[in-house]
Amino acid sequence: MTMNKAAIRSASSFFLVTFSTAFLFTLGARLTGWFTRAPEVEPAQLQSLGVAIMVAVVALAVGAGIRRLSAGELQSALLGASAVLLSTPLALAVLTGNWELSTAAVSGMGVLTLADIPWPQWAKWVFPLQVLLFILGLAALFVAVQVGYGR
């Protein structure tokens, strides 16, 4: 069984781009505190953190240099990396039971991106629904106050 050199180059390039991007996305989100509080990195750990970032950037550059990815391949690689970034806050929320607004917002936007739903189309459908639910909530609160609920 002979391996096609082009297939090996394509797979290696895709692998390096996907996983180095996912690593850099996750590391950046964690260090900037997107989903949780930003960690306090001790000065002794800064050197190893810098080396890890440099290795990931070099892996990304090597992956991009092995073979130029087509637009579809690059989109697929970045969506794979985005899926890793999307799963990080969800896993944290499920494990800790701590659901925050940022988790819901990032997860919602990530699902829209991964599902390839255009923002204007989604907003056109969801905005009237949100207005309707807001009005129904106000009506329910009005009725509850008028009947003395909770006294």
Distance CA 55, CA 76 (A): 22
pLDDT for residue 136: 94
Average pLDDT over residues 59-82: 80
pLDDT for residue 147: 92
Q: What is the pTM of this model?
A: 0.53
Q: Which residue has the higher pLDDT, 73 or 132?
A: 132
